[in-house]
Chain A
Amino acid sequence: GQQLNQSPQSMFIQEGEDVSMNCTSSSIFNTWLWYKQDPGEGPVLLIALYKAGELTSNGRLTAQFGITRKDSFLNISASIPSDVGIYFCAGQSGNTGKLIFGQGTTLQVKP
């Protein structure tokens, strides 16, 4: 199936460090979403981006909708142990709610 290119695939960082991950696509999207998934749980929405160039923050999280509408990045500042999990980007286009997901970035934080 169709997927976005999300990188890096995994990260192992020290507590307090900043983290950056991104997604790229060959297709244009109208909406970019970032989700976090903990083991045994469903994806939880972190940030939603609706306009090209939009920069949105949610606490220590900041995400941007690329100007070309084909990419997005997520930054996490001053990471803490509870940031551990799998982060997914998702793109949405058209007039349905169908989401195309990236492969996920597994984040591990060392206390």
Chain B
Amino acid sequence: DSGVTQTPKHLITATGQRVTLRCSPRSGDLSVYWYQQSLDQGLQFLIQYYNGEERAKGNILERFSAQQFPDLHSELNLSSLELGDSALYFCASSVALGRSGNTIYFGEGSWLTVV
């Protein structure tokens, strides 16, 4: 158990819908990351938050957004869903930003299926 908690574990929804994925980082971790894992693209970095502020952005679609709340939990919002958005979405956390020695721990993921 990495200490990173993600909900829901599985989600099936229709195209055009909107879903919210939730992540609770490890106790004491200030940085939260979101990754998408699909068969064709592998593990792709989406976005990073540190202590409530966005710090880095990857290949995140405009239909997707995220935020980190004062209690440090984070939500990833996916809207106008398309079939191609079906993937495993991982949240990860670390104590600090990204300096050497900063270990990043992953949650078990939220499996999203768009039908």
**A residues lining the B interface (CB < 8 Å):** 1, 3, 30-31, 33, 35, 40-45, 48, 50, 88, 90, 92, 94-104
Contacts and interface: CB of A to CB of B under 8 A. Distances in A.
Contact of B4 (A33, A42, A97, A101): A42
Nearest to B107: A42
A97 B31 contact: yes
A96 B2 contact: no
A31 B41 CA distance: 22
27 contacts: A31-B100, A42-B106, A42-B107, A43-B43, A45-B103, A45-B104, A48-B101, A48-B103, A50-B100, A88-B43, A95-B98, A95-B99, A96-B48, A96-B55, A96-B97, A96-B98, A97-B31, A97-B92, A97-B94, A97-B104, A98-B45, A98-B48, A98-B58, A99-B33, A99-B43, A99-B104, A101-B44
Across the A-B interface, the 6 shortest Cβ-Cβ residue pairs: A42-B106, A96-B56, A101-B43, A97-B98, A96-B98, A1-B44
Given A98-B58, A101-B42, A102-B42, 14 more contacts: A1-B41, A1-B58, A33-B104, A42-B92, A45-B104, A50-B101, A92-B98, A94-B56, A96-B48, A96-B98, A97-B33, A97-B56, A98-B33, A98-B56
Contact of B48 (A31, A44, A97, A101): A97
